[in-house]
Amino acid sequence: MLFDVIYGWRKWQGQRGFWCLLVVSLCLFCCLIGLVVNLFWLLSSDRPLWVGNQQSMITIASKDLSGNLQPTSGYDIDLVQRLTGVESVASIAIQSSLVTIGLKELPRVTIGFYSQNTIELLGLAAPFSMQNFESRKGIVSQRFWQQHLESNSSLKESRLYYRDSAFLIAGIAPQTMLRLGDVSVDIWLPDTYLQLGVPDMFVDNPEPYLKTRSNRYGFAQLSEQANVESLQDAYINLRQQTPWPDSGFSDNYYHPWLISGVELNPNGRDILQRQAWILLLLLVGFGFIIFSGIVSAYTQQGITRSAEMSLKLALGGCRRGLMGQLLRENIPALVLVGGLSPLLGLIVTHYVGTIGVYQEYFVEGVKFNFWLWLVAVSCSLWLFICCALFPLSGSINKLFSRGKQGHMTKMQQGVRQLVLVLQLAVITGVLLVSLSLMYQELQKYSSVVIAKDVTSYKPKVDGRLSVMLTSEQLDGEWRVDGSPIALSSAPFTQLGAPSLKYQSESGVALEKPINGLYVSHNFFRLLGIPLLSRGDLAENTVMINRSMASQLAIELGLNDWRAVKGLALKVSGFYYEKHVRVAGIVSDTAHFGIANEAKPLIYLSLKDQNPLLSSRIAPVFYSKGGNKEVIASHLNDWALLLSPKLSYVKGQSVVKQIEDTDTAGKLLFLTSSSMALLIIFLVIFTLYNKFSYAVKSEQMKWAIMLAVGGKKEALMAQMVWANALLAMVSILLTLGVFILLESYTQSLVNVSLFQPLIWAVCIALTLLFIVVITLWAARGLLKQNISVLLRG
């Protein structure tokens, strides 16, 4: 057996590097099959792992004006109970609050309040139980336990306090419940604790306050398989016909949204599904290149070894013995595929498990599917076994038994050209997808208009605050270490859900929710935000972005968005109302993420901030230039004078914060680019090997043409022209396929694949690619003397 293995290895002389590349690529393909298809399987489930109930269910939420998921009210959730086909409903309320552990205060702890029937409806696992619900015990997340309780054994049996009400810990929630959509929950409490947050004015009748606050996500179990769209229409009609309760929070004008299954992050799922589709398409192209390369390489070896097999058969060898010999020669390939692919699978899975986007959605990690890997490896081994027997194939033995090198018939040449066209079509499609994604990413980054050297300093709060800002800070005339400082009420890219409502003083348009940011008067000048319609922010005036101006123009029937300057508005919030005038209009900036569409936004003066909240909110500071460490030190000195519970972290670039909001887009671009590079790298060697063999198999023809006076340059030009024609055919084939799949690619990938500039670059690269490889393959043979070529 060892002789056969060594003999087979020597037969790959001159092609060993290419053979090893194909085998390693096949191992990588097998492990990626186990990962990507498993990713599809995880995304195909309509509920997360922490939901134990497998009955037909829907999620009840709201959709804001920008298409994002928002919580709804308990009142709206109860309305769903009236719909035909709905068996029962439950809800989870989410809010941040201060929690006390011993003598330590923890501000902004995210608490999930679950109702009595949530446990049964969602099938929640222990420690969730009716006994713990009735005894009003809390359940903490694993991360909260590790950060605050595990290291101190004396705290494990102590009481925690929420709004001065003590509760004991019943246990640790399953790891899968760490996130609800895009919210990380620290503590779970029975919803009876919500009564503690009712203001004094609602004590006599707390129901309107609790039921009309938009802080809940609802879930409904269906008695039978119902059409979600029909339920949605019936729900909207019922909501319009049912009057809103008096003495509660007013309707926020969001659209009711019923989602099939249990899904609290539909936009995040869409992004991951888009990535999975792109990875799957690239993986199919990668697999085609690998399999066609392996078949091509073994076919070429089969042609050259057909005379050897014919001679052994003529000398008395049996076909069974020769089959055994050929299989033993390929033992290294079988061992590598079976042994290297699981190792690569573990490495790739570990790497993917560290990517933030996947960590946020798959809390327990992206797992490797062993059975899918086993199927892929089995198919790969059978491919090698079949390819190893090519020299004994009856057709090959019959057609290619003459000569040392063997010759290809017209049928074989036609098959070779067809495979070449398909390979070039794959590489063209891969280039097109990669370049389109790259162009999309460049457009995102070019939309950032913030000055590059602007740094923000975020507050870190460890308890209750009472912040008092000076008029110098509010007016934007404050300097630290010689650098001007601007302020805002919230971090630049963390505005959250709309907390204000606006209405034109004319009363023509309805009151609508709006995102608001309170800033100092030098905010736009320091950050370099372009002014589209000049104006100065001051008390009782506001600045709005371009999207807000367009929305106002449409509502009021104005022909130009610039005409809204000077318009009088009424802005209201939580026990807060302000009459302001539009002082100017600024360009849209990436407050909501670089990958998201711009949303209407209103900038108000910090002097106009809600008096009920202003003293509790620590501002974010911005500086342009200057020494970051020195400025941070001065800011901390200022914060220490106000409260020992307030500090500021090291400054971070605002542009970097904006770019970091698109981690999913970066991941999509990096993964697709990596797969594209792998495919291109493999295609280069596959085509070089194919072209080299094609030239070598016809070397007698080229030698004769050179002997009768042909020019090497003309022969090389002829080869280039023939392959360039095949490349053009592949480009036309790719264009036709993309035209047929345009509607599908738009819905699955959300990237336009018909951009003239991208197509021009792609065609140029494909033709350059084919010309360079053809010349590279032909040069090595045609540089030899005619006498050497004639000897074969």
Residue 247 in 3-state DSSP? coil
Q: Looking at the DSSP assignment, which residues form a beta bridge with residue 540? A: none
Using an 8 Å Cβ cutoff, are 268 and 182 in contact? yes
Q: Check whether 8 has a pLDDT greater than 70.
A: no
Q: Which among 489, 455, 460, 480 is positioned nearest to 607, based on CA atoms?
A: 489
Same domain, 388 and 481: no
Distance CA 462, CA 646 (A): 7
Distance CA 100, CA 26 (A): 56
Q: What pLDDT is stored for residue 789 in this prediction?
A: 62
What confidence category does residue 400 fall into, taking pLDDT thresholds of 50, 70 and 90?
Answer: very low
Q: Check whether 83 has a pLDDT greater than 80.
A: yes
Q: Which residues of 261-282 are buried (b: 16+ CB within 10 A; e: fewer)?
A: bbbbbbebbebbebbbbbbbbb
Using an 8 Å Cβ cutoff, are 105 and 98 in contact? yes
Distance CA 81, CA 89 (A): 6
Residue with tokens 């092609």: 15
Same domain, 438 and 499: no
Which tokens go with 682? 């493999």
Distance CA 652, CA 524 (A): 18
Residue 661 in 3-state DSSP? helix
Which tokens go with 243? 């009057």
Which tokens go with 266? 């539909």
> What is the count of structural domains for the chain?
4
Task: Using the 3D structure, point to which of 194, 228, 262 is the last residue of a domain.
Answer: 262
Same domain, 168 and 314: no
Distance CA 672, CA 674 (A): 5
Which tokens go with 481? 């270490």
Q: What pLDDT is stored for residue 136 in this prediction?
A: 92
Identity of the residue numbered 185: V
Q: Check whether 395 has a pLDDT greater than 70.
A: no
Which tokens go with 716? 């090389």
Which tokens go with 204? 């006599």
Q: Check whether 394 has a pLDDT greater than 70.
A: no
Residue 551 in 3-state DSSP? helix
Our CA angle for 67, 72, 75, nearest 5°, is 145
Q: Which helix (H) or strand (E) holds 720?
A: helix 712-740
Round to the nearest angstrom and report the end-to-end CA distance of the chain: 32
Q: Which among 244, 253, 237 is positioned nearest to 212, based on CA atoms?
A: 244
Q: What pLDDT is stored for residue 57 in this prediction?
A: 93
What confidence category does residue 403 fall into, taking pLDDT thresholds of 50, 70 and 90?
Answer: very low
Rg (CA), the chain: 34
Same domain, 428 and 312: no
Same domain, 26 and 126: no
Write the DSSP symbol of residue 562.
G
- CB count in 10 Å sphere of residue 415: 14
Q: Which among 76, 171, 62, 156 is positioned nearest to 124, based on CA atoms?
A: 171
Residue with tokens 């009424």: 570
In a domain, 624, yes or no: yes
Q: What pLDDT is stored for residue 497 in this prediction?
A: 67
C-alpha dist (Å) from residue 592 to 125, 433, 609? 35, 26, 21
Q: What pLDDT is stored for residue 200 in this prediction?
A: 80
In a domain, 492, yes or no: yes
Mean pLDDT, the chain, whole residue set: 81
Same domain, 788 and 692: yes
Distance CA 433, CA 306 (A): 41
Q: What pLDDT is stored for residue 379 in this prediction?
A: 83
In a domain, 658, yes or no: no
Q: Give the pLDDT mean for 332-343.
A: 78
Identity of the residue numbered 169: I
Residue 582 lies in domain: 459-650
Max mean pLDDT among 26-40, 136-150, 245-259, 653-667 falls in 136-150
- Min mean pLDDT across 231-240, 260-269, 745-754 is at 745-754
- CB count in 10 Å sphere of residue 719: 21
Q: What are phi and psi of 22, to 5 degrees?
A: -65, -40
For the chain, how long is the longest CA-to-CA vector?
Answer: 109
Cα dihedral 609, 611, 616, 618, rounded to 10, equals 20
In a domain, 305, yes or no: yes
Q: Give the pLDDT mean for 764-772.
A: 83
- CB count in 10 Å sphere of residue 482: 10
Q: Give the pLDDT mean for 426-453.
A: 79
Q: Check whether 398 has a pLDDT greater than 70.
A: no
For 520-542, the DSSP string reads -TTHHHHHTPPEEE-----TTEE
Q: What pLDDT is stored for residue 193 in this prediction?
A: 94
Using an 8 Å Cβ cutoff, are 599 and 592 in contact? yes
Residue with tokens 């895009």: 182
Give the up-direction half-sphere exposure of residue 134: CA atoms within 13 A in the CB hemisphere. Answer: 3
Task: Using the 3D structure, point to which of 407, 438, 469 is the last residue of a domain.
Answer: 407
- Between 351 and 209, residue with greater pLDDT: 209
Q: Check whether 1 has a pLDDT greater than 80.
A: no
Identity of the residue numbered 541: T
- Between 275 and 557, residue with greater pLDDT: 557
- Between 79 and 444, residue with greater pLDDT: 79
Q: Which residues of 623-646 are buried (b: 16+ CB within 10 A; e: fewer)?
A: bbebebeebbebbbeebeeebebb
Same domain, 129 and 252: yes
Task: Using the 3D structure, point to which of 621, 650, 679 is the last residue of a domain.
Answer: 650
Same domain, 382 and 442: no
Distance CA 325, CA 11 (A): 13
Same domain, 589 and 710: no
In a domain, 778, yes or no: yes
Same domain, 371 and 438: no
Q: Check whether 407 has a pLDDT greater than 60.
A: no
In a domain, 657, yes or no: no
What confidence category does residue 405 fall into, taking pLDDT thresholds of 50, 70 and 90?
Answer: very low
C-alpha dist (Å) from residue 536 to 366, 476, 494, 519, 603? 51, 12, 24, 12, 11
Q: Check whether 372 has a pLDDT greater than 50.
A: yes
Residue with tokens 């319609």: 533
In a domain, 67, yes or no: yes
Same domain, 208 and 303: no
Residues 6 or more apart in contact with residue 191 via CB below 8 angstroms:
91, 93, 113, 114, 115, 116
Peptide bond into 459 cis (omega under 30): no
Which tokens go with 404? 């040392």
Q: What pLDDT is stored for residue 124 in this prediction?
A: 92
Distance CA 385, CA 396 (A): 16
User: Model pTM?
Assistant: 0.70
Which tokens go with 131? 């006994």
Q: Check whether 402 has a pLDDT greater than 50.
A: no
Distance CA 397, CA 87 (A): 71
What confidence category does residue 581 fall into, taking pLDDT thresholds of 50, 70 and 90?
Answer: very high
Using an 8 Å Cβ cutoff, are 476 and 523 in contact? yes
In a domain, 655, yes or no: no
Q: Which helix (H) or strand (E) holds 34?
A: helix 16-44
Distance CA 214, CA 92 (A): 11
Write the DSSP symbol of residue 245.
P
Max mean pLDDT among 131-145, 421-435, 572-586 falls in 131-145
Q: What pLDDT is stored for residue 114 in this prediction?
A: 95
Q: Check whether 615 has a pLDDT greater than 80.
A: no
Phi-psi region of 67 (alpha: psi -120 to 50; beta: other; left: phi over 0): left
Q: What pLDDT is stored for residue 157 in this prediction?
A: 63
Catalogue the E-assigned strands of 408-550. 454-457, 459-461, 479-480, 483-488, 500-504, 512-519, 531-533, 541-545
Identity of the residue numbered 757: L
Same domain, 244 and 274: no
Q: Check whether 421 has a pLDDT greater than 90.
A: no
What confidence category does residue 368 fall into, taking pLDDT thresholds of 50, 70 and 90?
Answer: low
Using an 8 Å Cβ cutoff, are 738 and 429 in contact? yes
Identity of the residue numbered 606: L
Read off the pLDDT of residues 509-564 as tens digits, 9 standing for 90 and up: 677 888 899 999 999 999 999 999 988 898 899 999 999 999 899 888 888 899 99
- Min mean pLDDT across 355-364, 589-598, 654-663, 761-770 is at 355-364
Residue 79 in 3-state DSSP? helix
Q: Give the pLDDT mean for 556-574.
A: 87
Q: What pLDDT is stored for residue 468 in this prediction?
A: 82
